[in-house]
Amino acid sequence: MRVTLIKPNIGRMLSGPYVDEGRMEPLNLGVLAALTPPDVEVKLYDDRMEPIPYDEPTDLVGITTETYNARRSYEICAEYRKRGVPVIMGGVHPVLLQEEAQQHADSLFLGDAETMWAQVVDDVRHGRLKSVYNGPVGRPQPGVLTRRDLFEGKGYLPLTLVQFSRGCRFNCHFCAVARYFKKQQYYRDIPEVIAEIESQPRKLVFFVDDNINSYPELSIKLFREIKALRIHWVSQSTIDMAEDPELMDAMLESGCLGHVVGFESVDPRNLKRMRKASNLPRWERYARQLKVMREYGLQTWASFVLGYDFETPASVKDTADFALDNKFTFAAFNILMPYPDTPMFKQLTAENRLLYGGKWWLHPDYRFNSAAFVPKSCSPEELTQACWDARSRFNSFSSLIYRAVDFKTNMRNPVRFATYLQFNPIFRKEVFKKQGMRFGIH
């Protein structure tokens, strides 16, 4: 028996299909392969960098689907179903829009695969694939090490993805993660995390947790254990980590280089609207918290969500100024996207402010990094242009040089400087390449 796992592309540029040069390992597919019985042959195809051999014999195709690549996922499903090959679709998007996804796949897997994937494979063996499987959400990868042999030769960035937890305890207004995990966070056993890191050769690790420091007492236990591994690592965290000296000490001693930090907005009115609980009580302390992070030498990958009710082109410019003034290692100026079945989506639907018929992820006229709704304080076109201007400024060559010269973070030591120099040009190129891309290939 053979199972084919596919990571879909997002779409195409004017010159042809988009090739993601900043692609990371599809960790979820490596876990799925590890959960597959050993007598089953598993093939992985990454649509972001290689053609899919639709005519290659296989008994089941598994596709992981996010909202951004839903249109492309449906195209892939159609090709296999034309050939009579059953397709099962999983990921966040089918959970948010089960009825839509069922129109394109033979089966849906909703939830975590750890407890039920073996049953899916057995059902295919016996010709009884169900239309829906509901896997309970819970502890990640119990007793399972990711199959990384499937990643070889695919040109992924030279860092290893590992998970300690899934989900987030916060309930931000715009976030699909809160909807998927119902505001819960599930932790993997620390010895299994250590074994995962030790099972691979790289010394640079990215913990894919949505918020690795939600529960500091657990995080500190992990950091103290990985200290002996002598690795360098990054993850995602809320800025309130700077309020906990014990946590900061443990992070630095364990080899932390920095974090993706969701600032989202520098306007407290917008933070209140988006229910960014981790930022709201302390928004006026950004400067002090950033000072703490700089003293610890942590590099910051800043993330912003732009387009809430008080957003204007001037406030977007202020956000870019804030990112440049603080010499962040990277910054993402993301337009607020109404993800289906989130509180934000429901609000904009009720207010008749959605564009593209509400389904921007499928609409042939939607373009990547464009506003998909009508903002309150400016036009969709003004918001789109302002965010593009912010990306252009932050990722200019002059900005890259200006931000590099920071002796407390980006030039603190050779490892941090090498990280800055290695990844900034790649991400800069991707920012300019993806702007205005259409979804889907056909």
Query: 224, 295 in Cβ contact below 8 A?
Result: no
Distance (Å, rounded) from C-alpha 261 to C-alpha 280?
14
At position 252, the amino acid (one-letter code) is L
Annotate 71-112 with DSSP letters as a single string. Answer: HHHHHHHHHHHHTT--EEEESHHHHH-HHHHHTT-SEEEEE-
Which letter does DSSP use for residue 11 in this model? E
| Cβ 101 vs Cβ 123: under 8 Å | no
Which SS3 state, helix, strand or coil, does residue 140 take? coil
Which of 310, 313, 317, 318 has its CA nearest to residue 377?
310
Contact criterion met (CB below 8 Å) for 63 and 8: yes
Query: 2-135 adopts what CATH topology?
Result: Rossmann fold (3.40.50)
Burial class of residue 4 (count of CB atoms within 10 Å of its CB; 0-12, 13-18, 19+): buried
Task: Read off the DSSP letter of residue 137.
Answer: P
Q: Are 47 and 8 in contact (CB under 8 A)?
A: yes
Residue spans per domain, the chain: 2-135, 158-439
From first to last of its 442 residues, the chain has per-residue pLDDT tens of 999 999 999 999 877 788 999 999 999 999 999 999 999 999 999 999 999 999 999 999 999 999 999 999 999 999 999 999 999 999 999 999 999 999 999 999 998 999 899 999 999 999 999 999 999 888 899 999 999 999 999 999 999 999 999 877 666 666 666 666 666 788 999 999 999 999 999 999 999 998 999 899 999 999 999 999 999 999 999 898 999 999 999 999 999 999 999 888 888 887 777 765 555 555 456 888 999 999 999 999 999 999 999 999 999 999 999 999 999 999 999 999 999 988 889 999 999 999 999 999 999 999 999 999 999 999 999 999 999 999 999 999 999 999 999 999 999 999 999 999 999 999 999 999 999 999 999 8
372 contacts 354 by C-beta, under 8 angstroms: yes
How many CB atoms are located within 10 Å of the residue 296 CB? 19
pLDDT at 286: 82
Those residues with Cβ within 8 angstroms of residue 302's Cβ, 6 or more apart along the chain or in another chain = 260, 261, 263, 323, 326, 328, 330, 331, 332
- CA-angle at 348, arms to 90 and 268, nearest 5°: 100
CA–CA distance, 2 with 404 (Å, rounded to integer) = 48
* 186, β-bridge pairs: 166
Predicted local confidence at residue 171, as pLDDT = 61
A 10 A CB-CB count for 397 gives 9
CATH-assigned architecture of domain 158-439: Alpha-Beta Horseshoe (3.80)
pLDDT, residue 277, reads 54
Q: Are 175 and 342 in contact (CB under 8 A)?
A: yes
The whole-angstrom separation of Cα 16 and Cα 12 is 5
